Chain A
Amino acid sequence: MILSERIKRLREQSLNAVEKLSPERAQLITQFYKSDEARGLSAAVLRAKAFEYLLRNKKLYIGDVELIVGERGPAPKETPTYPEISLHSLDDLDLLDRREKVSFKVDAEVRKIYESEIIPYWQGKSNRDRIMNLMTPEWKNAYKAGVFTEFQEQRAMGHTVLGYKMYRTGFLAIKEEIEESRSKLDWMRDEEAFAKNEELTAMSIACDAIIMYANRYADKLQSMAGSEKDPARKKELEKMAEVCRRVPANAPATVHEMLQHYWFIHLGVITELNPWDSFNPGRLDQHLYQVYSEEKKKGTLPDEELYDLLGCFWVKFNNHPAPPKMGVTASESSTYTDFCLINLGGVKPDGTDAVNEMTYILLDVIREMRILQPSSMVQISKKNPDLFIHKALDIIKTGFGQPSCFNTEAIIQELLRQGKSIVDARNGGASGCVETGAFGTEAYWLTGYFNLPKVLELTLSNGFDKLTNTQVGLKTGFASDYTGFDDLMNAFKAQLQYLIDIKIRGNNVIMKTFANWLPAPFLSLLVEDCISNGKDYNCGGARYNTTYIQGVGLGSITDMLTSIRYNIYDNKKLTWKELLNATERDFKGFEQVQHDLIYETPRYGNDDDYADHHAVSVFEMYYDAVNGKPDSRGGIHRINMLPTTCHVYFGSVIGATADGRNAFKPLSEGISPSQGADSQGPTAVIRSASKIDHLRTGGTLLNQKFSPQFFEDEDSYNCLTSLIRSYFAMDGHHIQFNVVSAETLRDAQKHPELHRDLIVRVAGYSDYFNDLGEDLQNEIILRTEHEGA
């Protein structure tokens, strides 16, 4: 793919656009809630009418060279807010405006609108206020202490992906489906018939609304075509108008229609509410392949046009930063990325190799576009060819962080274990960071990160949190009270169960706030069985419902427990008093102790069972505490192990620890070893990471650092391919190659203790970076700068 002038321009525009807060949606939703139209309606119909009001009144945007139309805000990167979910205060707005990272410009006009219209109406009435009023003191204490985070306090439930069905139908047909479901309501025996009827009415309104919105675009495009002087653009505008007239009302029949169809759906979802992970096209190569092949056969889609359409589509995602966050959520998920993860490869519904021509075309697009959003991943099945992996490595080696690699067979087994049908499982994939889901049929909600090392810290201090000065956990005793390692582990287990139960109780209450006040009739159209069940996506209407709590800090807690066992109990190198003295003073004056904890103690990530078996113990305890507990919408609680950037926030609420980590420093991320703890190379890390049972999770995250020189030739590619395939043969869920930058190498020069795992390859030999002389290190940095570019 060679980027056309059109795509270069759109890409530049998107990269240069400044993130800005748009008051449009907040104003419209406030006007609607204040209006007579909003009175006396059931929650479902209220939300459907609000959706309709937004789409009828929001400003249309048509960029001067774009082929795919529609923006969530009035222009690219102008980002709306959702005051009915969470209300930004004036202080929040000021902070957003001036913070250095992930900022959003808030001009004086917007501030005024907030002050005079938005805040007065929603103050104390947002769902966030509702949630905080409903939480118990125990929940609040644990939340404040940083034991867990809460996803739903400022964003709606999302975490779902468009499936096969919606790419092959239109909203006119969906309306018929709604009426069919309505005709089957059992008014004699079903006590929920009334609620279902209301929900179906809401869904029908939402169908009309999205068609109306597309028609508004069609009208505008048509009128623009009328006055366009450039004949080429005039033709494009006419074509675009025609496309918007056809989709999403009807099933898309061309690549252009399919991309525009999806994009309207995407905009619908992120306008209705602000769901986590925005929304996601899912298995895009699979969906596009059929229409692409047909057009190719007919000769109606020249390559340049195809790449232009895909380029326009890609830019759309980048135009949409995650809605501005506040408070703890802003610090734990500090990014513009909205976690829309395009899946490539994997297997078809019949279980055969799904890699096709479109897979390679899209990999090409990812490589050439090289923009933050959308994110991308490759689903690697044992049935996929090596070439597929090699093409992915071509992009990975540039240090772009995409695509990440997933194990199709593991995803399928995880889904089957949870009771999905084999076809639904094969149609699934991963979304967000690494979360397993059945695309188009499952509502799989992430509810918050859970700070495993914090639970250990509480276990050592009788459940008392020194930082917030509150009793957060149970009173199970102090460190020195434990009579042995097993005794400590039993206390940890009790604390863990207690704190998980607090989180689950909170989840079950919070879910009900969405079910009762914030149904999502538009999103419900997209996820199968909501229509036939007459139930909203937010009320358990989907075919499958899963609720996740994401465990964080596995590597860190494993090192902490290993250190306690090794130094205090098994080898008596330290007493509890000595260890606590050192950690309480953040190792000041106890550098020798810290040195021994870091360098002379076994650690996770080196294929050493002495350390690794603690990872397995913690994993099993965490699994037992969460897995199988019902949620309040007919689904089940399950675990996954991923941190996004929460390991930084979670580290910031924990003092110095037994693994030699300084106070408030980040924890390990995902199931990766602590920074610098592994020194035996990638196969040892992979062996350690496969000791936990990935198949009983809904996703794990393993990050592996490599220098670009490991990607230098075909032999290297083959070895990396084997490395991935081996991890996946051991049921590993996901691996991501972080190709180190020169910046990382410079940091390693300054802080060698944090980069003990860093292996670099130098002209035929490789060695630990730390072991090299400074002159050589400098030389490698120069080379990495050169090659990584």
Chain B
Amino acid sequence: MKGLIFSIKRYSVHDGPGIRVTFFMKGCPLSCWWCHNPEGISPSQETVEKVQKAGGKEFRTLENVGRYITPADVLAVLEKEKIFIAESGGGVTFSGGEPLTQPEFLIEALKRCKAGGYHTAVDTSGYSDTVTLGKIIPFTDLFLFDLKHLVSEQHLKYTGVSNELPVGNLHFIIESGKEVWLRIPVIPGINDDHGHLEMLKDFISGVGNGRLKKINLLPYHRIGTSKYKRFGLPYRMQNTASPTPARMKELKAYFEETGIKVKIGG
């Protein structure tokens, strides 16, 4: 059994507690306008041109984006990072893309990681059939749940899918008793208007019965822009600027009124 990933990140310190290894899995049913990992959208291997300099000259080479790994490969990487993970209370995170698009691999990898004593996290948009989600819950210690927009039409417009399934799944995970950190991207002009912020706050206050431990406010950033060019994808946010640090602080204070810990960034 194999999973398709586009990147493995060691010393990943913003995808759950402690020092982690994050596996970025390829394939995502969403196509968020602000996506900073566009290489994670397509569910198949791709080839892109890479430019490297040597001796003042530029060399263009074709790079394969996406490679198949087995759950045993996952364990082998964790084995190398064991000491850092143990020392920091870290673990492994499956992110993407949308990791739930590769359920068989994900379940097997999570199972093996749990058996190996590692803390497991899944970073998901929640867009998955609930049965699959139910299968991974027993092997997942923490969900990093990306909540993008509470108005379904808006969700559809900016991510390509409506939000009933993700929101339902969020409730489902919370009911299961697993720890959830809510990750809210702050996208100027898309989900940061006062009305929507109020909706979010009400939603957060009403959900979870104290099982929601943390909110991460992820400020929109243009980090993915150059990747869009490389992948030949259109970028629809050319004119959007990042929220200012002052604005992020303001939002942090706003959401802290829910009584839940809020952090800017992952």
Binding site for B on A (CB under 8 A): 587-588, 591-592, 594-595, 598-599, 607, 660, 662, 680-684, 686-687, 710, 712-713, 715-716, 718-719, 722-723, 725-726, 729-730, 751-753, 761-767, 771-776, 779
Contacts and interface: CB of A to CB of B under 8 A. Distances in A.
A93 to B, nearest CB: 40
Given A726-B87, A763-B242, A771 B226 contact: yes
A592 B59 contact: yes
Q: Which 3 A-B pairs have the closest CB atoms?
A: A773-B226, A722-B88, A764-B265
Contacts, number: 123
Interface in B38-75: 52-57, 59, 61
A680 B218 CA distance: 24
A683 B84 contact: yes
Given A598-B54, A687-B80, A726-B87, A682 B11 contact: yes
A775 B225 CA distance: 9
Nearest to B36: A765
A662 B55 CA distance: 8
B54 A591 contact: yes
Interface string B4-16: 0000011101100
Nearest to B265: A764
B182 to A, nearest CB: 14
Contacts of A766: 14
A719 B89 CA distance: 9
Q: How many B residues are at the interface, by size bracket?
A: 35 or more
B81 interface: yes
A682 B21 CA distance: 12
Contact of A722 (B56, B80, B84): B84
A160 to B, nearest CB: 34
B208 interface: no
Given A594-B54, A595-B59, A681 B223 contact: no
A715 B80 contact: no
29 contacts: A587-B54, A588-B55, A591-B56, A591-B57, A594-B54, A681-B9, A682-B11, A683-B80, A713-B265, A716-B13, A719-B90, A722-B18, A722-B19, A722-B88, A723-B19, A726-B87, A729-B87, A762-B223, A763-B218, A763-B242, A763-B265, A764-B14, A765-B223, A771-B227, A772-B223, A773-B225, A773-B226, A773-B229, A776-B225
A167 B57 CA distance: 61
Given A684-B10, A722-B87, A776-B223, 13 more contacts: A591-B57, A592-B59, A595-B59, A599-B52, A660-B54, A681-B9, A683-B10, A712-B265, A723-B19, A726-B19, A752-B52, A753-B54, A761-B14
Contacts of A775: 222, 225
Contact of A723 (B11, B53, B229): B11
Nearest to A764: B265
B19 A683 contact: yes
A764 B80 contact: no
B83 interface: yes
A580 B90 CA distance: 47
A594 B221 contact: no
Contact of B19 (A599, A719, A774): A719
Nearest to A766: B14
A779 B18 CA distance: 28
Given A595-B54, A729-B87, A776-B226, A683 B14 contact: no
A718 B84 CA distance: 12
B263 interface: yes
Contacts of A718: 18, 88
Interface in B223-259: 223, 225-227, 229, 242
A779 B242 CA distance: 11
A132 to B, nearest CB: 40
Interface in B168-218: 216, 218
A765 B221 contact: yes
B126 interface: no
A567 B121 CA distance: 40
B222 A764 contact: no
Given A598-B54, A683-B81, A763-B265, A772 B19 contact: no
B99 interface: no
B117 to A, nearest CB: 17
B218 to A, nearest CB: 4
Contacts of B265: 712-713, 763-764
Contacts of B166: none
| Central interface residue in B14, B223, B264, by most chain A CB within 10 Å | B223
Contacts of A767: 223
B13 A719 contact: yes
A753 B53 contact: yes
A681 B21 CA distance: 11
A587 B55 contact: yes
A763 B225 contact: no
A730 B52 contact: no
| Central interface residue in B9, B19, B218, B219, by most chain A CB within 10 Å | B19
Contacts of B36: 765
A715 B219 CA distance: 18
Contact of A764 (B18, B89, B221): B221
B29 interface: no
Contacts of A773: 222, 225-226, 229
Contacts of A713: 263, 265
B103 interface: no
B217 to A, nearest CB: 8
A683 B89 CA distance: 15
A411 B19 CA distance: 26
Nearest to A597: B54
B176 to A, nearest CB: 26
Contacts of A762: 221, 223
| Central interface residue in A607, A722, A730, A772, by most chain B CB within 10 Å | A722
A415 B80 CA distance: 29
A725 B54 contact: no
A87 to B, nearest CB: 44
B126 to A, nearest CB: 19
Contacts of B90: 719, 722
A774 B51 CA distance: 14
Contacts of A751: 53
A700 to B, nearest CB: 18
A763 B188 CA distance: 14
A716 B266 CA distance: 11
Contacts of B242: 763
A712 B222 CA distance: 20
Contacts of B226: 771-774, 776
A143 B53 CA distance: 35
A458 B219 CA distance: 55
Contact of A726 (B84, B218, B221, B266): B84
Contacts of B227: 771
A763 B219 contact: yes
Nearest to B89: A722
Nearest to A759: B11
A80 B222 CA distance: 56
Contacts of A764: 14, 216, 218-219, 221, 264-266
A729 B87 CA distance: 9
A761 B221 CA distance: 11
Contact of A776 (B9, B57, B89, B222): B222
Contacts of A592: 59
Contacts of B14: 715, 761, 764-766
A554 to B, nearest CB: 21
Nearest to A591: B55
B54 A719 contact: no
Interface in B87-141: 87-90
| Central interface residue in B13, B61, B266, by most chain A CB within 10 Å | B13
A762 B56 CA distance: 28
B11 A765 contact: no
Contacts of A729: 83, 87
B14 to A, nearest CB: 7
A392 to B, nearest CB: 17
